[in-house]
Amino acid sequence: MTMQIFEKILPIKDHISGLKKEGRTIGFVPTMGALHDGHISLIDKARKENDIVVSSIFINPIQFNDKSDFEKYPRTIEPDKEKLEKANCDILFAPSNEEMYPEPDNSEFEFGNLDKVMEGKFRPGHFKGVAIVVKKLLKIIEPHRAYFGEKDYQQLLIIKKLTNILNLPAQIIGCPIVRESDGLAMSSRNARLSKEERESAVKVSQVLLKTKQLKGKMSVEEMKMFVENEIKKIPLIKPEYLEIADSTTLFPVKNWHNSEDTMAFIAFYAGKIRLIDNMRF
């Protein structure tokens, strides 16, 4: 069956409403396009767990705190459509900015600590933009389940909190990071890396993996220093933050016994391209 494509809100709402009346379950994978195997793994999971799979492609302008980053973000709509069709996605929602934001939306949300640290600290306004667009998309599609990658782990926690705050019925499902064969976390931004930047970026992921095996052999502070020293040796890499934090609260962990489930989070520049990664310890 050919994938159906909608660009307007009312027609897709009507169509999905009809499917739900027939008793069909809806799985939703929101994206900003520039699709890679990480996105397709979300589509595959949604396919297994729902009758109908809906994806969206919308490069959300209000979540970019850097205007040039928004302008340079890869726009690959035709290849993306082909990838979705090949993955047996049933419906694509690809709205314009005007359709999503006929007027400015200045909704405010209280996420406690979750949006104050790491990405929230270094990208002011980013999570407000994410929360506004996800709220809109979940209200348009009204899925039973929505799927998000754990590479954006902080975003995943914020979206779970958002659905609680707004009492939205969608079940939010986090899916593991998909990595390239050499260990680099898949990202739409990887396409913008030069050969040398790509070779350096993968070394950051390898440092994280090596560090995971050292847990228990050194203190949290020693581990952070070890990672920082290892990353300083990598050419073309400029770290922005490194945090070892609790996986539920995102509060920094000072001692291993302070948290039952710790994760390392890193943001760094490979040349001028900003990337993030995380690893559960």
Residues annotated as catalytic (active site), given as ranges:
39
Q: How far apart are CA 276 and CA 268, in angstroms?
A: 6
Radius of gyration from C-alpha coordinates of the chain: 19
Strands (E) across 118-210 are located at: 145-149, 171-175
Strands (E) across the chain are located at: 4-6, 26-31, 52-57, 91-93, 145-149, 171-175, 237-246, 262-270, 273-280
Cβ neighbours of residue 276 closer than 8 Å, sequence gap 6 or more: 119, 151, 152, 185, 187, 265, 266, 267, 268
What number of other Cβ atoms are within 10 A of residue 164's Cβ?
A: 10
Both tokens of 70, joined, read 């928004």
Q: Given the structure tokens 């307007």, which residue do they identify? A: 8
